[in-house]
Amino acid sequence: MKSDCIPTICQERKKDPIEMLHSGQLVKVCAPMVRYSKLAFRTLVRKYGCDLCYTPMIVAADFVRSIKARDSEFTTNQGDCPLIVQFAANDARLLSDAARIVCPYANGIDINCGCPQRWAMAEGYGACLINKPELVRDMVKQVRNQVENPRFSVSIKIRIHDDLTRTIDLCRKAEATGVSWITVHGRTVEERHQPVHYEAIKIIKENMSIPVIANGDIRSLKEAENVWHITGTDGVMVARGLLANPAMFAGYNETPLQCIWDWIDIALELGTPYMCFHQHLMYMMEKITSRQEKRVFNALSSTSAVLDYLTDHYGI
């Protein structure tokens, strides 16, 4: 685990996510994305109106047992706030140990109860947890007992059941155990690209006293505001929409050139590996490049080649 923050306490702790979610204002959230929502990208989206960022999903057992895993999976710095660390877990003790490790560096943890990937569910992580409300309750309870900071949030991110009453029951049990908020991806485990069930998210919100964040297929600030109004939730979480346009929350309909320049500065300063650096640019430039330009740009194999290309074509 690496941090440029000395002391390790987040300097922007005053930006309390729980207070933000109770403010009545739209809270704009960057989703936990495997490989993508790391420190450099979080730094970028914060420059463009993102209020709250999540780390990529981290397997709690590996994080606790391996220093190497901690160093590779979790990097932060002084400005990386407010921050939620998302864990994949199926054991209350290991999760609470992981939470105690990150507590000085983050505002809270989130339990992944929504990942539908087969490997995660086979390990007892992710979306299979929506069918195990007692285990979710035990994990939340253990973190609450082990982490002394009362402002440290514990949240869950879920998918919905075909029978929505089961989802409402899960959420009520989580709320009773002390969950700070719930993020709802409005699809079932089996659904991938089908329309998001925003009405289901609205019903869940109406049955909760704690904040709820809506997630699923939001690609612009206007769509974020529409979903916020339709569902009555307290925030919206965006994944692929931010990958394609990190300036989305600032109201841009496509990635502005200044945002690309900011990404280059941030990524190079933080030592982002080339593959990640290039992949983010490929996403960002999807809408502003022709098919021929994409073929050329996507085939570039070094940072210097990328910088030369952008200078020649965009004056960056």
The Cα–Cα gap between 33 and 112 comes to: 11
Residue 83 in 3-state DSSP? strand
According to DSSP H, which parts of 83-197 are helical?
92-102, 118-122, 133-146, 164-177
Alpha-carbon distance 213 to 236, whole Å? Answer: 5
The answer to whether the CB of 50 falls within 8 A of the CB of 29 is yes
Would you tell me the crossing angle of helices 92-102 and 133-146 to the nearest 10 degrees? 40
Q: What is the tens place of the pLDDT at every residue in 173-201?
A: 999 999 999 999 999 999 988 999 999 99
Tell me the binding residues: 32-34, 86, 185, 239-240
Residue 5, pLDDT > 60, answer no
Which residue matches tokens 């923050």? 5
**Which of 168, 157, 150 lies closest to 120, judged by CA?**
157
In this structure, what token pair is assigned to residue 109?
């943890």
CA distance 266 to 178: 37
**Residue ranges of the binding site for FMN:** 32-34, 86, 185, 239-240
Distance of CA 121 to CAs 90, 131, 152, Å?
A: 10, 11, 27
Residues 15-49 have pLDDT tens digits of 899 999 999 999 999 999 999 999 999 999 999 99
Q: Record the pTM.
A: 0.94
- Which amino acid, 74? F
Q: Which neighbouring-strand residues pair with 27?
A: 235
What pLDDT digit, counting tens, does each position of 254-302 carry?
A: 999 999 999 999 999 999 999 999 999 999 999 888 999 999 999 999 9
Residue type, 283: Y
* 274-284 and 303-314 helices, crossing angle to 10°: 30
Retrieve residue 61's tokens.
């057992």
Give the residue numbers annotated as catalytic, written as ranges.
Answer: 115
Q: Which long-range contacts (CB under 8 A, 24 or more apart) does 99-104 make?
A: 99/143, 99/146, 99/147, 99/152, 99/154, 100/146, 100/147, 101/1, 101/63, 101/64, 101/70, 102/1, 102/74, 103/147, 103/149, 103/152, 104/8, 104/9
**pLDDT confidence band for 316 (50 / 70 / 90):** low
User: 83-88 and 182-185 as β-strands: parallel, antiparallel, unpaired?
Assistant: unpaired
Round to whole Å and give the CA distance between 100 and 94. Answer: 10
